[in-house]
Amino acid sequence: MQLSLAELGPRIGATVRGDGALCVTGVAELSTATPGQLAFYSNAKYKKDLAATRAGAVIVAAADEVFVPAGSARLIAPQAYVSFAKASAIFHRDLAVEAGVQRGALVDDSAQVHVTAAISPGAYVGPGAKIGARTTLHAGARVLDCAVVGEGCTLWPGAVVRERCIVGDRVILQPNCVIGSDGFGFAFDMEGDGQGPVHRKVPQAGIVRIEDDVEVGACTCIDRATLGETVIGRGTKIDNLVQIGHNVKVGALSLIVAQVGISGSTELGMGVVLAGQVGVAGHVKIGDGARVGGQSGVFNDLPAGVTVSGTPTRPHGQYLRSLAALPHLPDLLKEMRKLAQRVQELELQAKERT
Amino acid sequence: MQLSLAELGPRIGATVRGDGALCVTGVAELSTATPGQLAFYSNAKYKKDLAATRAGAVIVAAADEVFVPAGSARLIAPQAYVSFAKASAIFHRDLAVEAGVQRGALVDDSAQVHVTAAISPGAYVGPGAKIGARTTLHAGARVLDCAVVGEGCTLWPGAVVRERCIVGDRVILQPNCVIGSDGFGFAFDMEGDGQGPVHRKVPQAGIVRIEDDVEVGACTCIDRATLGETVIGRGTKIDNLVQIGHNVKVGALSLIVAQVGISGSTELGMGVVLAGQVGVAGHVKIGDGARVGGQSGVFNDLPAGVTVSGTPTRPHGQYLRSLAALPHLPDLLKEMRKLAQRVQELELQAKERT
Amino acid sequence: MQLSLAELGPRIGATVRGDGALCVTGVAELSTATPGQLAFYSNAKYKKDLAATRAGAVIVAAADEVFVPAGSARLIAPQAYVSFAKASAIFHRDLAVEAGVQRGALVDDSAQVHVTAAISPGAYVGPGAKIGARTTLHAGARVLDCAVVGEGCTLWPGAVVRERCIVGDRVILQPNCVIGSDGFGFAFDMEGDGQGPVHRKVPQAGIVRIEDDVEVGACTCIDRATLGETVIGRGTKIDNLVQIGHNVKVGALSLIVAQVGISGSTELGMGVVLAGQVGVAGHVKIGDGARVGGQSGVFNDLPAGVTVSGTPTRPHGQYLRSLAALPHLPDLLKEMRKLAQRVQELELQAKERT
């Protein structure tokens, strides 16, 4: 497959500057792109790679056009990274699996699998489960009893959708992620059943509902609700190894980066961003568009639109100032002691004088 | 299934206040419960939901009875959450799988599977492994060679019990958890095998032993011992994405919340609570009933019964005071500088005077 | 199997002190070893166990020989832990699986599986994939289309190698680890496709390349590159539940402990050590031999050879001093206020005097 820049430009929302007849066959990194490939520039850390690139054309913001070497055409784009995503998608082929239930797939007789869905060897669809049109279950993906998976979804190997959970359309489940594990709900029973105290399991009778266009990362776990639903809102993207507790509600278009943990019954608004390794306590509300810096601990409600960091969170700038001050603390303690002595001496002198 | 409150009360350790003849068909959240359902109240964050509930009856502590609206009967319980757990369990049906080795299950001829156990399609039982009575292996659960799983256990899809590990009775393994992965044991060998240094693998020849009534969360990993056993004590509950290193011993009835990491050879007593994302160093001893706050780092032994937080841990109240003081640090540095100048001036004045 | 100490010594790089004719049948912990077994001592925390050991012989550094009880022979070793690893490996048998594609294994007709490789029931090898000599795929390991796995590898249950990824020789993939999940790459598109903003997926078109002698822990996730390769260098060992983002390059012989997260495009040199739960930001360079303490947050490049901790990282000693000073901060704030008052009084007195 090859496309001229003139054909490509309008499809990716970019304006061609240079030879529109030039054909490219795919996208590549600045440092490895050949004259037949398209590259992309936006991060100043890669300015050297840009200067040395052999790419036939570079997608770039208007402001950065001057840095593109003379040998490369430019595709000027107001949202450069978006245009790159579109270009890459045009040339990219997802791993194709033939439609139908393949030999070695395990599909219960009572399951409803759309005729255009592809069920690979070793994938499993349980009793009463439904799989929508054009959805792919790769080897070892598993959809348990009465769960529903929508249209155009991709379930990678080892992805699990437990009983009765609901997955919308165009959802991607990366390998070994878990939808609908039991929430961590135990009632400490002093009496037990006559043999001393026990942690009595609270049945996790609810489900997980995942709306359209969500992506769930590898080994990410989303617990089913104790009662009712744990919900992941439309278009939200979740990275790898994230923990989402029972009864959590995540709004639309949020971004949850790797290794974040969200405790039970917490609610995130729309467009929330949680950076890597953040921990959020239970029963907390985080407003629309709030952004939380990496490794922070969120214990209290956050209003919409804030950018916060630290444990507990505070405005990001304030947090950075505290961090910068921290290494001075040991010296501060010493200076304090010295200063107190000097003040004491002054006080003694003053006393002597009176 | 439906039960009158008069029947239900004694079974869940609660006293009925209101119409004992009222029948309920299940439990639900305060906000969604219908007059034919039972709800539960204990967290003050849900007082508004309680006031507006349409539930036929509410399980509640005596002290909270006054907040229940007139339209709902009360089930007064000394351990309200325990009574809720019992009520929910009465109405809840776990996903049932038919007993026997089902078509598509992979069971080695030398394995011993109890006739009442249920082995789903795609589940695997290796050579010499034993599966106890009434235990369920869901699709894609795997028990490797000579491992032993007790009675009444549930292994969800993708749960792995590696060779020779021992799992007690009534144990629940959530999806994609791993029992018996190799511990992280390498000896740095300067000489290698003649081609420069290597990290030489130390064989992880031991096992994991999981006692009765333990629950292990989704994608949680428990490493086998280098030699001997890694042990998870009776009735302990482990959340999702937890790492437990080789040769760790966890006492009975402990609670280990999501994303905790426990390094090798560390020992936890009975009833220890580690909140989310805590990290514990290797070769540490944590006493019975110790409680560690979220995201803390434990580097030293902890005595029984303490409640600690921070890195390194200190008493929780002290930790909170430090956290509260931290944002004042940048200003403190400035004030210190000013104060030092003022003292210097006073000293100069004093000098001039003498 | 049994070996005399005289036979064993040279094979593990140790010198026998005591009865070289004594035969041992395996290795065990100091506390449980019998007179027919070999134990090992290096950590002072286990001095009591050493004093009480019944082991036939103890591997020990020359400096520690004096602590070994008279009843045990000594195997004096310059690299005691390396000698222990070698001894343990001599007596240890990895779980053996018969060579060949076993009944219940799912191997595509177009896959190339070496005749000496062992493919267990429920393991999957996709179209065009290659499996090298003496490599074992345990039940439920999965190698997708056109991926390549080298010689002498072990893939435990649930380990996933996604399409086109490349795995070298003697690589060990612990259960449920994921090689080649999609990186977390989305371009925020204000316009979407006419129905409001979306996070547009950037195709993750690259691969993961894992060099020889690497070990990857259980439930660890290594994302494929957006373009090009994510690389794990020769002999590097990665613990459980680690997240490695797209386009990361990890040098040879590094050690990455459990629950570490490394963001996209970051580069680690050779012999880097990241302790547990460390987070590393994207596009960062960490020099050869740098060591980062547990739970640290790395936001900036680190030069070779440093030992750092904290967020952001600073020299480890400095970090410890800050940690030690932190609990004094609340008192410091109070003292500061008192001292300021005393200075003010002195100033007033001085003013009165003039």
In which element (H, E) is residue A317 found? helix A316-325
- Encode pLDDT of B307-324 as tens digits: 999 999 999 999 999 988
Q: What is the pLDDT of residue A265?
A: 96
Compare CB distances from C184 to A91, A217, A295 and report the shortest one's residue.
A217
Residue C226 has pLDDT above 90, yes or no: yes
**Number of neighbours of residue B110 by Cβ within 10 angstroms:** 12
- Which of C181, C204, C223, C337 to probe by mutation at the A interface, max A CB count within 10 Å? C181
Q: Do A85 and C203 touch (CB under 8 A)?
A: yes
Q: Which positions in chain B touch A335 (Cβ < 8 Å)?
A: 336, 340
Q: Which positions in chain B touch C27 (Cβ < 8 Å)?
A: 205, 227
Minimal C-alpha gap between C120 and chain B (Å) = 10
Chains A and B form CB pairs within 8 A to the count of 194
Three-class DSSP labels, B2-20: CEEHHHHHHHHCCEEECCC
- Encode pLDDT of B67-98 as tens digits: 999 999 999 999 999 999 999 999 999 998 99
Of B60 and B191, the structure prediction assigns the larger pLDDT to B60
What is the C-alpha to C-alpha distance for residues B104 and B122, in angstroms, rounded to an integer?
6
CA distances from A235 to A86, A289, C120, C200, C258 (A): 17, 14, 39, 9, 30
Minimal C-alpha gap between C117 and chain A (Å) = 20
What is the C-alpha to C-alpha distance for residues A28 and A10, in angstroms, rounded to an integer?
20
What is the C-alpha to C-alpha distance for residues B78 and B64, in angstroms, rounded to an integer?
11
Question: What is the chain A residue with the closest CA to C197?
Answer: A253
What is the C-alpha to C-alpha distance for residues C7 and C21, in angstroms, rounded to an integer?
9
Q: Output C108-114 pairs: Cβ under 8 A, ≥24 positions apart.
A: C114/C151
Compare CB distances from C178 to A219, A235, A346 and report the shortest one's residue.
A219
Minimal C-alpha gap between A119 and chain C (Å) = 13
Q: What is the pLDDT of residue B233?
A: 98
3-state SS assignment for residue A112: strand
Q: What is the pLDDT of residue C108?
A: 97
Compare CB distances from C104 to B106, B181, B198 and report the shortest one's residue.
B106
What is the C-alpha to C-alpha distance for residues A77 and A34, in angstroms, rounded to an integer?
21
Q: Which positions in chain A touch B240 (Cβ < 8 Å)?
A: 178, 181, 184, 221, 223, 243
* Tokens matching residue A202: 């609270």
The single residue of A246, A283, A316, A328 carrying the catalytic annotation is A246
First to last CA, chain C: 97
Q: Do B326 and C330 touch (CB under 8 A)?
A: no
Question: What is the chain A residue with the closest CA to B275?
Answer: A281
Q: Interior CA angle at A150 toward A147 and A151, to 5°? A: 150
3-state SS assignment for residue A268: strand
User: Which residues lie across from B314 on neighbouring strands?
Assistant: B309
Residue A353 has pLDDT above 80, yes or no: no
Q: Which positions in chain C touch A273 (Cβ < 8 Å)?
A: none
Q: Which positions in chain C touch B121 (Cβ < 8 Å)?
A: none
Annotated catalytic, B316?
Answer: no
Average pLDDT score over residue span A267-275: 98
CA distances from A62 to A16, A19, A329, B242, C140 (A): 11, 17, 46, 47, 50
Cα Rg, chain B, nearest whole Å = 28
Average pLDDT score over residue span B186-193: 91
Q: What is the pLDDT of residue B351?
A: 83
The answer to whether B109 and B93 are in contact (CB under 8 A) is: no
Compare CB distances from C145 to A45, A95, A329 and report the shortest one's residue.
A95
Q: Between the CA atoms of B105, B109, B113 and B114, what dihedral angle is there, to the nearest 10 degrees? A: 120
The residue type of B220 is T
- Which of A108, A142, A265 to probe by mutation at the B interface, max B CB count within 10 Å? A142
Q: What is the pLDDT of residue C342?
A: 87
Among residues B178, B270, B263, the alpha carbon closest in space to that of B221 is found at B178
Pairing of strands C198-201, C186-189: antiparallel
Minimal C-alpha gap between A116 and chain B (Å) = 23
User: Which residues lie across from A119 on neighbouring strands?
Assistant: A101, A137
- How is C112-180 classified by DSSP, letter by letter? EE-TT-EE-TT-EE-TT-EE-TT-EE-TT-EE-TT-EE-SS-EE-TT-EE-TT-EE-SS-EE-TT-EEE
Q: Do C82 and B187 touch (CB under 8 A)?
A: yes
Q: Do B32 and A184 touch (CB under 8 A)?
A: no
- Encode pLDDT of B237-281 as tens digits: 999 999 999 999 999 999 999 999 999 999 999 999 999 999 999
The answer to whether B212 and A176 are in contact (CB under 8 A) is: no
B contact chains, 3+ CB pairs < 8 A = A, C
pLDDT band at C285 (very low <50, low <70, confident <90, very high): very high
What is the C-alpha to C-alpha distance for residues C285 and C304, in angstroms, rounded to an integer?
10
Q: Which residues of B1-28 are buried (b: 16+ CB within 10 A; e: fewer)?
A: eebebeebbeebbbebbbeeebebebbb
Q: Do B29 and A228 touch (CB under 8 A)?
A: yes
Q: Do C333 and B336 touch (CB under 8 A)?
A: no
3-state SS assignment for residue A230: strand
Average pLDDT score over residue span C253-263: 98
C contact chains, 3+ CB pairs < 8 A = A, B
Minimal C-alpha gap between C271 and chain A (Å) = 24
Average pLDDT score over residue span C226-240: 97
The single residue of B246, B283, B316, B328 carrying the catalytic annotation is B246
Residue C1 has pLDDT above 90, yes or no: no
Residue A354 has pLDDT above 80, yes or no: no
What is the C-alpha to C-alpha distance for residues B276 and A295, in angstroms, rounded to an integer?
12
Q: Select, from the ranges A209-218, A336-345, C194-203, the one with the highest average predicted confidence (pLDDT).
A: A209-218
Q: Interior CA angle at B88 toward B86 and B91, to 5°? A: 110
Q: What is the pLDDT of residue A251?
A: 98
Residue C45 has pLDDT above 90, yes or no: no
- How is C9-54 classified by DSSP, letter by letter? HHHTT-EEES-TT-EE-EE--TTT--TTEEEE---GGGHHHHHT--
Compare CB distances from B217 to A126, A184, A326 and report the shortest one's residue.
A184
The answer to whether B209 and B165 are in contact (CB under 8 A) is: yes
What is the C-alpha to C-alpha distance for residues A290 and A274, in angstroms, rounded to an integer?
8
Nearby residues of C351 by Cβ (< 8 Å), 6 or more positions away: none
Q: Do A343 and B347 touch (CB under 8 A)?
A: no
Residue A29 has pLDDT above 90, yes or no: yes
Question: What is the chain A residue with the closest CA to B80?
Answer: A187
Among residues A317, C118, A260, C121, the alpha carbon closest in space to that of B123 is found at C121
Q: What is the pLDDT of residue A101?
A: 97
Q: What is the pLDDT of residue A352?
A: 83
CA C103 from centre of chain? 34
pLDDT band at A90 (very low <50, low <70, confident <90, very high): very high
- Which of A237, A274, A326, A328 to probe by mutation at the C interface, max C CB count within 10 Å? A326
User: Which residues lie across from C320 on neighbouring strands?
Assistant: none
User: Helices A329-353 and B329-353 sit at what angle, rounded to 10 degrees?
Assistant: 30
- How is C248-288 classified by DSSP, letter by letter? -EE-TT-EE-TT-EE-TT-EE-TT-EE-TT-EE-TT-EE-T
Compare CB distances from A189 to B79, B217, B327 and report the shortest one's residue.
B79
Instruction: Return the DSSP state at B89.
Output: H
Minimal C-alpha gap between A28 and chain C (Å) = 6
CA distances from B241 to A84, C13, C91, C263, C296 (A): 34, 39, 33, 19, 19
What is the C-alpha to C-alpha distance for residues A252 and B165, in angstroms, rounded to an integer?
43
- Encode pLDDT of A307-334 as tens digits: 999 999 999 999 999 988 988 999 999 9
CA distances from A185 to A181, A254, C184, C214, C220 (A): 12, 26, 30, 38, 26
The residue type of C257 is V
Residue C179 has pLDDT above 90, yes or no: yes
Compare CB distances from A29 to C160, C223, C228 and report the shortest one's residue.
C228
3-state SS assignment for residue C184: coil
In which element (H, E) is residue C343 found? helix C329-353
Q: Is the dihedral of CA A235, A238, A244, A250 positive or negative?
A: negative
Minimal C-alpha gap between A124 and chain B (Å) = 7
The answer to whether C284 and C296 are in contact (CB under 8 A) is: no
The single residue of C138, C199, C246, C283 carrying the catalytic annotation is C246
The answer to whether B133 and B151 are in contact (CB under 8 A) is: yes
Nearby residues of C50 by Cβ (< 8 Å), 6 or more positions away: C30, C41, C58, C67, C68, C69
Question: What is the chain B residue with the closest CA to C32?
Answer: B228
Residue C38 has pLDDT above 90, yes or no: yes
Supply φ then ψ for residue B335, to 5 degrees.
-60, -40
Nearby residues of C270 by Cβ (< 8 Å), 6 or more positions away: C233, C251, C252, C253, C254, C288, C289
pLDDT band at A302 (very low <50, low <70, confident <90, very high): very high
Give the position of tokens 């007849």. A21
The answer to whether B24 and B56 are in contact (CB under 8 A) is: yes
Q: Is the dihedral of CA C234, C240, C241, C242 positive or negative?
A: negative
Task: Please give the ipTM for the structure prediction.
Answer: 0.96
